[in-house]
Chains A and B, each alone.
Chain A
Amino acid sequence: KQEVTQIPAALSVPEGENLVLNCSFTDSAIYNLQWFRQDPGKGLTSLLLIQSSQREQTSGRLNASLDKSSGRSTLYIAASQPGDSATYLCAVRPSAAGNKLTFGGGTRVLVKP
């Protein structure tokens, strides 16, 4: 059974500092991994999707890496801003046919002005 872990559960940084968020999964046989952002009481916004054959994806200040063999993904957010404060969730998809996502518990981020 796939298990996804995100450590730390919470993180507080001063504005301008780079953020490093970790995601680990127990079964390396994944189809893809997706990073989401969730604001309090809201739905999820997709940030980045990494296919199992890829090593990283970039979008603006965000960069996500994937090391499938070691069961790890890292989300980097450069030059953090107070607007980056949110909960960040990673989720893995098992196969092309299997659409069920297994989510990590999330990392709650606070960027202080």
Chain B
Amino acid sequence: NAGVTQTPKFRVLKTGQSMTLLCAQDMNHEYMYWYRQDPGMGLRLIHYSVGEGTTAKGEVPDGYNVSRLKKQNFLLGLESAAPSQTSVYFCASSYSILTGGSEQYFGPGTRLTVT
């Protein structure tokens, strides 16, 4: 049982390049989330999904897109990276309100640097 995994762990991009961060969970959770963590800012929600095929915007969605084609995977895309997107990205998952449980399980993070 791996929990929540994130790929890659580190990445350096040049401004304007694109990339996709992959999140996978093996706990059969309905909900999945993408956060970014910046110094002094805590964790801010980028996008989230309440089920396969559904996505919604969080607090800071601009410049990012997401897809949830399979229940266990949640992809975060940067179409044209900017230095302001330099951050540590965390994926999380949780059960839905209908099945009980509310805490989120986090992945180990992806450290992204945009030069």
A and B interact physically: no
B: which residues have CB within 8 A of A? none
A: which residues have CB within 8 A of B? none
